[in-house]
Structure 1
Amino acid sequence: MRHTILALSLLAATQPAQAEEVNLYSYRQPELLAPLTDAFTKKTGIEVNVAYLSDGMVERLQAEGDRSPADLVFTVDVARLAAIVDAGVTQPVTSDLLQSNVPAQYHDPEGNWWGLTTRARIVYASKDRVDPSEVTTYEDLADPKWRGRLCTRSGTHPYNVALAAAHLYHHGADETRTWLEGLKANLARKPQGNDRAQVKAIWSGECDIALGNTYYMGQMLADDEQKEWADAVNVLFPVFEGGGTHENISGVAMTKAAPNRDNALKMMEFLTTPEAQEIYAHANYEYPIAPGSQADELVRGWGSFDADPVNLMELADHRAEALRLIEDVDFDG
């Protein structure tokens, strides 16, 4: 027996040590994540394996169950984060570093997901045809003065559902229905395209104002063809009456299976540091949320705003009713 134990000990001593690693499922593009994962590996020596998914993350995690190799999920939009939590495939985590780096409104109160960077849902406005002082609140976008002057993508797109959920949170169902009817009456054309298409429509004269996310401005300004569209508009930051400018978020959650839990927590903590958030925010023209961090110089040049202080999980709870109201008024019809 002693010889067997000795032989096993010698065999173990000759085997290469298993590499430290963490496995990540992500909806984000490789070019956005690579700078982050490279920085984390350089700092910790932990290798990051990323599976880039176009859809079906929840279904995949449910099918894999306790055998899932995924430690973390990385995605955008609070609805997706909430859906992952609701599916029961995450676990709550917290630490002093997470708590200090992520303000309360930007993480799940139970610790199931933690925010990283934000994007504001703003108004693109024609530099030639709209005085910036005319756009102050989201509520005002339903005013008849904008009749035939507003463009937007589909009302049922997650970005617009989230905005309607925020209106619902602040004003209730009756006022939100009226607001949606006002927005629909002000449309210059049937909802269509993506956020960049709305800027192009302003540039071409089809409409004067449009709803969109901030980061698309950075992407358009970096594109030879689309820069001309972007140069035709101002970025304006409306607020909700009694609230602030609506934001959505990118975030990270630890899976219930998490075979490399300790490494996963190290990566979560790293992702919330000012260093990591600035890397990620600069790559995608978003806003870091860690105290002491700064947005890219271009993004700062669009101006400052006061974010709506509501916890984003509360908005997620209103999304189903918001979608029902959007469909009830036949917004896209």
Structure 2
Amino acid sequence: MLVSSVEEGSLSAAARKLRIPVATLTRNVNDLEAKVGTKLLIRTTRRLELTEAGSDYVASAKQILEHVDEQERRAAGEFLAPRGELVVTTPVQVARLRVLPVISQFLAAYPDIKIRLLQSDSNVDFVDAHVDVAIRLGRLRDSSLVATRVGSLRMVVVASPDLLDKCGEPEAPENLRDYPCVVFESPNLSPWRFRNPDTEQVFTIANEPRLIVSSPDAAVDAAIDGIGATLVLEHDVAAAVSAGKLRHILQEFEVEPIPVHLLHLSRNVMPMKLRAFIDFAVPRLREKLAEFGRVPSV
């Protein structure tokens, strides 16, 4: 109950999730603090905060719950045959364009496995969300996860032919400071970064966007409409470029592509459903991402 209270952010929210009265939950937390002989939670009107002892207690409790969950999976036969539920998390657009087709093929091949797909552009916590597999963009920081690189994605600047005819084609990233731009706000794409082809030095450009959006689809649509040039991942604009609705610009100034990894927790014994998914997904994701990670020579 303490773990649920922390995860939900309040006793009332945890009580709703657990479907018990708030008074019952409060009494259980108080009894736990009395049992361990120290304060675990600091309750304010706005949120819950863990004491130092509470942080240690919750971290240990999560490890125990993870171990119990693994034993339950073992008892259910997940270590004997590929069956059960897999929780997969991936960025929203990567899921739609690259991961979902692989998942569809996997489900057809393994009828005893079901998948819960969590689509989020923020990194979902493995333990809190009971995640089995994550597809993540960018440099890795958490060394406790086992990572397999499956490809990379180019960051590209595109603009409509009409806009280029009207405003001219920028010859260097510095020209974008006064150029009509559409900015897609994303951790991997903000601020706009470029590479000097002579020195290999990476630098950023601050522009004055005419439009700021929160999804790549909106950025692409706005660019097609001629509102401004935009910086997105290449697979987001591949169809529009092929159709002649957008054109690549400033390709010689592109930075290194963003790496894409498949990650999972390190386990002493891996459930067969997880082993099956990794073996199935890795080569197919590599194939789907292969065309998008190469910086063209100009």
TM-score normalised over the length of structure 1? 0.48
- Look up the match of 1:213: 233
**How far apart are the structure 2 equivalents of 1:30 and 1:205?**
25
Q: Could you list the per-position Cα deviations for residues 15-36 of structure 1 after superposition, in whole angstroms to 9, with x for gaps in the alignment?
A: 9x95323734222547854542
The 3-state SS of whatever aligns with 1:232 is coil
Shift of 1:55: 4.6
1 or 2 for the larger relative contact order (CA 8 Å, sep ≥6)? 1
**How far apart are the structure 1 equivalents of 2:181 and 2:280?**
41
Aligned amino acid, residue 217 of structure 1:
V
- Look up the match of 2:156: 122
Contact 1:245 1:306 in 2 (8 A): no
Contact 2:82 2:272 in 1 (8 A): no
- Look up the match of 2:102: 36
Aligned length: 213
Shift of 1:248: 2.2
Q: 1:247 to 1:304 in 2, by over 3 A?
A: closer
Q: 1:160 to 1:53 in 2, by over 3 A?
A: same
The runs of 5 or more residues in structure 2 that have no matched partner are: 1-76
**How far apart are the structure 2 equivalents of 1:56 and 1:148?**
28
Q: 1:237 to 1:266 in 2, by over 3 A?
A: farther
Q: 1:161 to 1:115 in 2, by over 3 A?
A: farther
**How far apart are the structure 1 equivalents of 2:281 and 2:90?**
16
- Look up the match of 2:174: 142
Shift of 1:53: 1.9
User: Which structure shows the higher helix fraction?
Assistant: 1
2:227 maps to 1:195: no
The CA RMSD measured in Å over matched residues stands at 4.5
- Look up the match of 2:25: none
1:51 to 116, 121, 144: 116
Shift of 1:261: 4.9
**How far apart are the structure 2 equivalents of 1:258 and 1:49?**
23
Q: 1:20-169, aligned counterparts within 5 Å? A: 20-21=82-83, 23-27=86-90, 29=95, 33-37=99-103, 39-40=105-106, 47-55=112-120, 60-63=125-128, 70-71=131-132, 73-78=133-138, 82-83=140-141, 85=142, 88=144, 90=145, 112-130=146-164, 134=169, 140-143=172-175, 147-154=178-185, 157-161=186-190, 164=193
Aligned amino acid, residue 160 of structure 2:
S
Shift of 1:255: 0.9
Shift of 1:162: 7.7
**How far apart are the structure 2 equivalents of 1:214 and 1:36?**
19
The runs of 5 or more residues in structure 1 that have no matched partner are: 1-14, 91-111, 222-226, 282-286, 289-294, 308-333
The 3-state SS of whatever aligns with 1:254 is strand
Q: Could you list the per-position Cα deviations for residues 116-154 of structure 1 after superposition, in whole angstroms to 9, with x for gaps in the alignment?
A: 2432211112213427x9456xxx22237x613233223
Aligned amino acid, residue 83 of structure 2:
E
TM-score normalised over the length of structure 2? 0.52
Which has more radius of gyration? 2
Q: 1:211 to 1:31 in 2, by over 3 A?
A: closer
Contact 2:82 2:271 in 1 (8 A): no
Q: 1:39 to 1:219 in 2, by over 3 A?
A: same
Seq. identity, %: 11
Aligned amino acid, residue 89 of structure 2:
S
- Look up the match of 2:28: none
**How far apart are the structure 1 equivalents of 2:270 and 2:111?**
11
The 3-state SS of whatever aligns with 2:157 is strand
Shift of 1:211: 1.3
Contact 2:90 2:121 in 1 (8 A): no
